Amino acid sequence: MEAISISQLSEHIQEVLEKELQPLMWVIGEFADFRQAPQGHVYFELVEKQGNQIAAKIRATIWQYTYRTVAGKFEALTGTSLKNGMKVLAQVSVNFHPVFGLSLNVKDIDPSFSLGERARVRQETIDRLTSEGSFGKNASLPLPAVIQRFAIISSPSAAGYGDFVNQLENNPQGYRLYHKLFPSLMQGNEAVDSLLSAFDQVEKAAQRLQLEGVVLIRGGGAQLDLDCFDDYRLGVRIANFPLPVFTGIGHERDETIADLLAHTRLKTPTAVAEFMLSSFREFEELVNTCSQRLDWITRGRFKEEEGKIQECALQLKGFTKMWISKEREALTVYPSRVLQAGKNLLKVEKNSQAQLEVLLKKEVSQVLDAQHERVVQLEYRCNQADPATVLRKGYTRSEIKGKPIQEQTVQVGESMTTYTYQQKISSTITSIEKK
C-alpha cells in the first residue's frame, strides 16, 4: 500500500466528513471548560458523561455574532445565561482542520430541551427521595413556642438576605432575635458543595450557639439558577438535619425540592422573617391573656378572702361578747353558791373547808385556761388577717398620688410613695422595665 502524507490524510478525512455527514446536526452534550474570549467568541467542550466519567468530548465554538443571538434567546426563555456544566441540545456543523483537528461550530441551542431535562432530573430526584422516606422527616421535628436563636445560610451579598435581616431587626414591636450567617454560594456548579459545607458548619456550631433552627434564603431567580436546590444530596441533608429548616428561596412559582423537604416553606426571605416574628406576637398575646386571667382570679380570691375575714371578725366579736356576758353571769352566781355551800358545809363539816377551797380553785382555773386558749387562737387568726402582718413579713405597698401603682399607668419622673411595716418612703421613678 502506497503511503500518503498527513495533509493528504487530513484532506481525505475532510472529504469523507463532508460527504457522509449532514451540514447541520442536533447533538446533546454538557458544557465543559466554558469560556468567552475578549473578542466575544465562546470556546468550550461538549461532553458526554456516563455517571461521573467522561465517555466522549469534542471541542466546540460559538462565534461572536451567533453567540449574541443564541445566548439572548436562551436567557429570555429560561431566565438564565449559558454557563459551564449545563446540558444542552445544540445544532452544530462538524469541521475538520489539518492542524487543529475535529471541532464543532454551534449554530443554535434549543432552550426547551434544557428546561425539559431539568424537569426530568427533578422528578427522578423526587421519586428517589420518596422511595427513601425522606419527605416529612424534617417537618416532624418539634418547634419551640418562640424561635429566638437560628442560623442563616445565604450569600452575604444576596438582596434576599438584606431584606430578611432588615425585616427582622426593624420590627415595630422591638423583638430581638439572635441570628448568625453561614455564607454559601447560592447558584452555579459549586453551589451544592458550598451549601452542604454550610449545613455541616451549622450542625457543628448548633449546640455551642444553642441554635433552634436553620433559615435557607436566596430571594428568587431564574429557574435554571435554582438547580442547586433540586440536588439529591442537598435534599437528603435537609431531610435528615437535626434542626428545623425554613426556606425562603424564591417566589411562589419557584418550588424547589429543598422547599418540599424543609420543615416550613415560605415564599420569600421577608416572609420567613415575618413567620419568625409572628411566633413572638402569638406568645406575647398568650402571656397577656394569662396575665389578665391571673389578675382577675387574684382579685376575685382577694375579695373572697376579705369577705371571709370580715365574717370571721364579726363572728369573733359576737362570740367574745356572748362569752364575756356568760362568764360575768356565772361569776355573779358562783359566789352565792359558794357562800351557801360554805355555810352548809361549815355546819356539817368544818374540816372539809380546805378541800372544797382547793376543788373550787382548780375548777375555776381549768375553765379560765380553756377560755384563755380560745381567746389566744382567735387573736392569732385576727393578727394573721391584719394587713400590718403582711407588711411585717417584708412586703411593701406603693402608691402614686394616693392610688396603687397597679391601677394606673406609671411614667418616668413621677413621685412614688412606698409603705413598709415601719417606714414611709418617697422616691422618684427613673426607669421602668417591663417584664
- 419: nearest Cα among 389, 391, 387: 391
Report how far residue 241's alpha carbon sits from residue 249's, in angstroms, rounded to the nearest whole number. Answer: 18
pLDDT at 126: 85
Q: Give domain 133-282's CATH architecture.
A: 3-Layer(aba) Sandwich (3.40)
Report how far residue 328's alpha carbon sits from residue 295's, in angstroms, rounded to the nearest whole number. Answer: 49
- 123: nearest Cα among 28, 261, 257: 257
The one-letter amino acid code at 19 reads K
Sequence-ordered strand ranges (E) for 252-347:
264-265
Plot region of 90 (φ>0 → left; ψ -120 to 50 → alpha; else → beta): beta
Indicate the pLDDT class of residue 406, thresholds 50, 70 and 90. confident
Is a pLDDT exceeding 70 seen at residue 16?
Answer: yes
Report how far residue 389's alpha carbon sits from residue 250's, in angstroms, rounded to the nearest whole number. Answer: 65
Is a pLDDT exceeding 80 seen at residue 280?
Answer: yes
- 92: nearest Cα among 45, 54, 51: 45
CB 243 within 8 A of CB 262: no
Cα-only R_g, the chain: 46
Pick the CATH number of 6-109 from 3.50.50.60, 3.90.1150.10, 2.40.50.140, 3.40.640.10: 2.40.50.140
pLDDT tens, residue by residue, 78-129: 767 788 888 888 988 888 888 888 889 999 988 878 777 677 777 788 888 8
Phi, psi of 180 (to 5 degrees): -135, 130
Q: Return the C-alpha cell found at 192.
A: 451544592
Phi, psi of 98 (to 5 degrees): -55, -30
Is the pTM above the cut of 0.75?
no
Sequence-ordered strand ranges (E) for 331-428:
397-400, 403-404, 415-419, 424-428
Is a pLDDT exceeding 70 seen at residue 220?
Answer: no
* Burial of 309 (C-beta count, 10 Å sphere; 0-12/13-18/19+): middle
pLDDT tens, residue by residue, 313-322: 888 888 888 8
First and final CA of the chain: distance in angstroms? 101
pLDDT at 246: 93
Q: Where are the domains of the chain?
A: 6-109, 133-282, 393-435
pLDDT at 385: 72
Residue in the structure block whose three cell numbers are 439572635: 178
Helix intervals (H) in 95-185: 111-131, 159-169
Number of C-beta neighbours around residue 68 at 10 A: 12
Residue in the structure block whose three cell numbers are 432588615: 166
**CA 114-115-118 angle, 5° bins:** 85
pLDDT tens, residue by residue, 118-155: 777 777 888 888 888 888 899 899 988 888 899 999 98
